[in-house]
Amino acid sequence: MRRKSSSLVILLLSLLVVLPVVSAQSKPVDAEGHQWWQHAVFQEIYPRSYMDSNNDGIGDLNGIALKMEYLKWLGVDAIWIAPCFPSPQVDFGYDVSDYENIDPMYGTLDDFTAMEKKGKANGIGIVFDFVVNHTSDKHKWFIESESSKTNPYRNWYIWRNGKGPNQPPNNWLSTFGGSAWQFDGKTNQYYYHFFYPQQPDLNWRNPKVASAMYDSTRFWYKRGVVGFRLDAVDTLFEDPNLTDNPILPGKNAYGDPKIEDKYTHKLPEVHDVMKGLRKAANQYNAVLIGETWTDNVSELKDYYGTNHDELQMPMDLMFTKLKPLSAEVFRKHVGAVDSSGEWPVYVMSNHDIVRAYTRFADGKHDDDIAKVLAGMYLTLRGTAIMYYGEEIGMKNNDPTRKEDVKDPIGQLGWPEQKGRDGERTPMQWNDTPNAGFTQGIPWLPVPMTYETHNVASEQKDPNSILNFYKNLLALRHTNQALLDGDYIALNQDDANVYSYLRRYKGQAVLVVLNMSENPQNVSFNLSKQGFSTGEAKTLLSTINGGATQKLSGMSLPSYTVYIGEVTK
Ligand code: NOJ
């Protein structure tokens, strides 16, 4: 008897160790075991540009807190906030000097807590951005590391001797221009930086680095963060033998030779770190989103982990490179990603790439095209990550003069590389000066389209891009077929209209997207898929039509979306 009760105690104690410490979000949400992040809509927020609560021209955490009701109204469930940790801001926060605090420019730890609470009250989780590849050169670890060759932190970064006088250790290049090696006169060695020289790469082969970084993720999980977007994971490791990268023909925007990133990207060891980060995330039921720039679907699949023990949400960033807007292009790519068997993560825009609104605009149907894009990627199987302002049709506002450029790569590579200021401009809240973002001088200029494309005006217009997004997200949250259904491509020979079914058990939603500037006529016969009434009940559409729609001879004006429920 006594033996039994002591083994019960041991069992309970071991459960305490194994069970999640805190549940970041609710447990699996449906009978099939889908996790909270599979049914969530994420939005990236660039904190410098979202809402400025203290009128210094730069957004802040209190500003984000003020907009939680808006995000809830829109239908966002989690926000990924680009880095807001202490930073010299050389790369606008992607040069972190302390992983466990908030930059005073954005607020304090208390402001973080207040924002997190306000988020929770509105059903919105906070995802932070973890810069895993490098720190700032002002991080205390690097300050120690560069102080001498024998400092205990020396091996936290990648230091090597040059090949000879004024000769870096090899031909590796920084993606932001020039050699990836920076000489340090004090210790006569070079350190490696894939990004700016002020962003030295961490040495992930050192177990102390790994455990300090895993601890920092726990620091935030304990404070309520529900996950991380992991920055630049492809470049965590480099070939320890420093083999030169193969040189390709031609020059890049910085005048450097083009090279193949063979010995500096996606080394197999990356997966060990993904597993380590995932272990920590699992204790808190948290999600990991990866900045995964893959060249093909098989590389993307690798990031989920062979045992699904790496990233739950590696971003499909190949999706951001698809062009032109064409049924064939998107059908082919989505088909390949969907059939990989993983849970896709579609992204159209972010703070590093020209906004999708601008990429696909034709100057005549820009708002209609924006709705077609939303109608597509927010109805596909998988989790979508929106970019702030996309829901109101914000466009890029690129600098036209070198002297106005804030992003250093725009200064270095001008005019071929204008930098990323254009996609990072202040959120357009209303039609008052500075679009209601600040009463001060905004750190980047607001594009003139704020007069028509802003939250307040679009909320009032039932046909606005914003109301289209809002209605679409509401549908996505409640419709079982959109949440969990299979993806079945239809009419695969149609070069202009991209259409598919999302089928879940006995129900299905039909999505029809006219991706051309010409009106199109389409017909669907869905009896093979088990839906033979020849009709759909309209759920959301940009076509003027009735409550039901015949599936033969559907006419679609240029750039339109039709979403309807088909029945047996
Ligand atoms: C990717 C981030 O998205 C980008 O903004 C940053 O400059 C680099 N990583 C370096 O951290």
Residue 465 neighbours by CB distance under 10 Å? 23
Name residues of the chain where pLDDT drops below 70.
Answer: 1-28
Å from CA of 133 to ligand 1 middle: 10
Q: Residue 542 in contact with residue 561, Cβ under 8 Å? A: yes
Q: In what order do the strands lie in the sheet with 159-160?
A: 159-160, 189-192, 181-184
Residue among 48, 195, 201, 350 to mutate when testing ligand 1 (max atoms within 8 A of CB): 195
The reply to whether 404 belongs to the active site is no
Q: Which pLDDT score, from 0 to 100, does residue 27 have?
A: 59
Return left, alpha or beta for 132; rule: phi > 0 is left, psi -120 to 50 is alpha, else beta.
alpha
Residue 462 neighbours by CB distance under 10 Å? 9
Cβ neighbours of residue 465 closer than 8 Å, sequence gap 6 or more:
367, 370, 371, 374, 391, 392, 393, 453, 458
Å from CA of 352 to ligand 1 middle: 7
Nearest CA-CA partner of 299 in 288, 310, 287:
310
Closest ligand 1 atom to 420 CA: 5
Å from CA of 421 to ligand 1 middle: 13
Q: Which pLDDT score, from 0 to 100, does residue 15 have?
A: 41
Closest C-alpha residue for ligand 1 atom 3: 352
The reply to whether 416 belongs to the active site is no
Residue 388 to residue 460: CA distance in whole angstroms = 19
Residue 14 to residue 494: CA distance in whole angstroms = 58
Closest C-alpha residue for ligand 1 atom 2: 231
Å from CA of 84 to ligand 1 middle: 13
Residue among 44, 52, 129, 231 flagged as catalytic: 231
Which residue type is seen at 41?
V
Residue among 94, 349, 354, 417 to mutate when testing ligand 1 (max atoms within 8 A of CB): 94
Residue 557 preceded by cis peptide, ω within 30: no
Query: Residue 202 gets which letter from DSSP?
Result: B
Å from CA of 265 to ligand 1 middle: 15
Q: Find residue 27's DSSP bridge partners.
A: none
Q: Which pLDDT score, from 0 to 100, does residue 3 have?
A: 43
**Pairing state between β 125-131 and 313-314:** unpaired
What 3-state DSSP class applies to 486? strand
Å from CA of 89 to ligand 1 middle: 12
Residue among 291, 302, 342, 368 flagged as catalytic: 291
Q: Which pLDDT score, from 0 to 100, does residue 280 have?
A: 98
Query: Residue 102 gets which letter from DSSP?
Result: -
Closest C-alpha residue for ligand 1 atom 5: 352
Q: Which pLDDT score, from 0 to 100, does residue 26 have?
A: 52
Nearest CA-CA partner of 101 in 55, 136, 142:
136
Please give the full DSSP string across 226-238, using - where no structure is assigned.
-EEEEETGGGS--
Q: Residue 186 in contact with residue 216, Cβ under 8 Å? A: no
Closest C-alpha residue for ligand 1 atom 4: 352
Residue 207 neighbours by CB distance under 10 Å? 9
Q: Residues lining ligand 1, CB < 6 A?
A: 91, 94, 131, 195, 231-232, 291, 351-352
